[in-house]
């Protein structure tokens, strides 16, 4: 055994001994550094990152301007009492308000999506005086108590009881929805009517909020059809009070809203967030994401024409999903096939997360950083092409009874 192999064996032995298994299997690679869109492993392999870390490295890894801000604030203003408001916190809140649709205006800054969901649910309950929370059947809002109770895509087994008043609404899953018009197209309006009829039957008349992802990410990159969210909002207004963020803040304050965590409104993270938005604005990142997203989607559609196991391609911009099936006629889910393609792609130098959840195939969640180049998009598509070809070739040989 060479020195690198010996170090790897020791690393995995220590990981197995000291790291708690959270239910998510570890990938068989040790990442030692990351730069831009590239990850580097302990055996000097390069991996193209098509997941932006945990979908949070919007500008890629170790962006030099972000590194400079972190260094500045670590050295000078990193962490304070949560009720000490600093310039970075106010700057971020102001900049963010310019990108939010009216009447959204006020913000406060937390650590994770789960914590943000918890705070939002608490605000909804305090403001309305109600307690029922509606969420999509393919939702993922986190796994803390309130967020996990509003999550239906995964993580519910053996974790009960959930928070009282949790109601599930059919997710807009065009590829697999049983609601169809006469011509076979997705009948989302009838599906929505059915969903609300079920909510109205289950509700005890205490609806506080409907929590929604604009595009359901972990749930399989489900993009609601045009007009869906407008209709959803109108239906919500029929059943629960709706008002502006300023009014909600006033109502929550009167109701005694309290949210205090160790890193609430930290200046360091606020400064980073403000710098990220500054770069997005300055460098026209939204347009770049649109252009590179069109390139990525075009390439994925070509792969769909080439490989029968790609049942659906969906998403927007640089957030794209490809659903894997095991049978072209029945559209039976193909999670094992999807996992095999994901594993092969990683072996060939591409990190592309595949989400395997009940009721769907293995859905690839592709989300490269918005700094990705046209050449890197083509590189990623080429590796995916190679991975599909390899796995399907192996699969077909196995089906034919050939030992591989």
Q: What percent of the chain has pLDDT over 70?
A: 95
Q: What's the angle, vertex CA 172, arms to CA 321 and CA 118, rounded to 5?
A: 85
Strand order in the sheet with 310-316: 310-316, 319-324, 362-366, 353-356
* pLDDT exceeds 80 at position 395: no
Who has greater pLDDT, 224 or 240?
Answer: 224
pLDDT given for residue 67 in this prediction: 97
Give the Cα separation of 101 and 116 in Å (integer): 19
Tokens 């943000």 found at: 116
What would the mean pLDDT of 362-372 be, rounded to a whole number? 94
pLDDT given for residue 267 in this prediction: 95
Give the distance from CA 166 to its chain's centroid.
21
Contact 34, 40 (CB under 8 A): yes
Please state whether the peptide bond connecting residue 317 to the residue before it is cis, i.e. omega within 30 degrees of 0: no
Strand partners, 313: 322
* pLDDT exceeds 50 at position 402: no
Who has greater pLDDT, 157 or 212?
Answer: 212
Give the Cα separation of 118 and 373 in Å (integer): 37
The region of weakest confidence among 19-28, 121-130, 267-276, 342-351 is 19-28
Q: What band does 397 get if pLDDT is binned at 50, 70 and 90?
A: low
pLDDT tens for each residue of 244-260: 678 888 888 888 888 88
pLDDT tens for each residue of 114-147: 999 999 999 999 999 999 999 999 999 999 999 9
Give the Cα separation of 197 and 19 in Å (integer): 46
Give the Cα separation of 343 and 350 in Å (integer): 9
What would the mean pLDDT of 5-20 be, rounded to a whole number? 91
pLDDT given for residue 254 in this prediction: 86
Q: What band does 3 get if pLDDT is binned at 50, 70 and 90?
A: low
Q: What percent of the chain has pLDDT over 90?
A: 75
What would the mean pLDDT of 337-353 be, rounded to a whole number? 94
Contact 62, 34 (CB under 8 A): yes
* pLDDT exceeds 60 at position 343: yes
pLDDT given for residue 12 in this prediction: 93
Q: Radius of gyration (Cα) for the chain, nearest Å?
A: 23
- Let me know if the fold of 3-62+283-399 is the same as that of 66-279: no
Fold of the 66-279 domain: 3.40.640
What would the mean pLDDT of 170-181 be, rounded to a whole number? 96
* pLDDT exceeds 70 at position 359: no
What are the extents of the domains in the chain?
3-62+283-399, 66-279
pLDDT given for residue 248 in this prediction: 84
* pLDDT exceeds 50 at position 46: yes
**According to CATH, what is the number of the domain 3-62+283-399?**
3.90.1150.10
> Which of 332, 316, 328 is CA-nearest to residue 366?
316
Give the Cα separation of 16 and 83 in Å (integer): 40
Give the Cα separation of 13 and 7 in Å (integer): 10
Q: Percent helix, strand and coil across the chain, each rounded to 5?
A: 45, 15, 40
Give the Cα separation of 258 and 262 in Å (integer): 13
Instruction: Copy the structure tokens of residue 273.
Output: 């967030």
């Amino acid at each position: 055994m060479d020195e690198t192999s010996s170090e790897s064996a020791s690393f995995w032995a220590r990981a197995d001994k000291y790291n708690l298994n959270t239910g998510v299997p570890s990938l068989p690679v040790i990442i030692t550094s990351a730069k831009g869109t590239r990850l580097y492993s302990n055996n000097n392999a390069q991996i193209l990152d098509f997941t932006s870390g945990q979908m949070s490295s919007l500008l890629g890894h170790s962006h030099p301007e972000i590194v400079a801000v972190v260094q500045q604030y670590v050295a000078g203003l990193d962490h304070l009492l949560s009720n000490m408001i600093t310039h970075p916190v106010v700057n971020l809140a102001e900049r963010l308000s310019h990108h939010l649709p009216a009447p959204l205006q006020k913000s406060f800054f937390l650590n994770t999506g789960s914590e943000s969901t918890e705070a939002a649910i608490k605000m909804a309950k305090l403001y309305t005086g109600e307690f029922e929370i509606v969420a999509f059947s393919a939702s993922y809002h986190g796994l803390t108590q309130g967020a996990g109770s509003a999550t239906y895509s995964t993580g519910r087994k053996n974790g009960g009881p959930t928070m009282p008043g949790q109601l599930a609404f059919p997710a807009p899953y065009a590829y697999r929805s049983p609601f169809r018009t006469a011509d076979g197209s997705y009948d989302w309006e009838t599906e929505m009517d059915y969903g609300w009829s079920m909510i109205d039957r289950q509700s005890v008349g205490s609806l506080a909020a409907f929590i929604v992802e604009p595009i359901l990410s972990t749930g399989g990159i489900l993009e609601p059809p045009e007009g869906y969210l407008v209709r959803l909002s109108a239906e919500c207004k029929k059943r629960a009070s709706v008002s502006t963020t300023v009014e909600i803040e006033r109502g929550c304050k009167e109701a005694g809203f309290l949210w205090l965590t160790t890193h609430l409104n930290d200046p360091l993270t606020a400064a980073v967030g403000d710098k990220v938005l500054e770069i997005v604005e300055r460098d026209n990142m939204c347009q770049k994401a649109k252009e590179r997203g069109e390139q990525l989607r075009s390439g994925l559609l070509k792969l769909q024409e080439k490989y029968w196991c790609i049942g659906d391609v969906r998403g927007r911009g640089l957030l794209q999903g490809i659903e894997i099936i095991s049978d072209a006629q029945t559209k039976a889910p193909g999670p094992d096939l999807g996992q095999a393609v994901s594993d092969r792609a990683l072996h060939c130098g591409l990190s592309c997360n595949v989400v395997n959840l009940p009721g769907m195939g293995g859905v690839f969640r592709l989300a490269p950083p918005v700094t990705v180049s046209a050449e890197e998009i083509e590189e990623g598509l080429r590796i995916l092409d190679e991975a599909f070809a390899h796995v399907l070739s192996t699969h077909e040989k196995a089906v034919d009874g050939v030992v591989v």
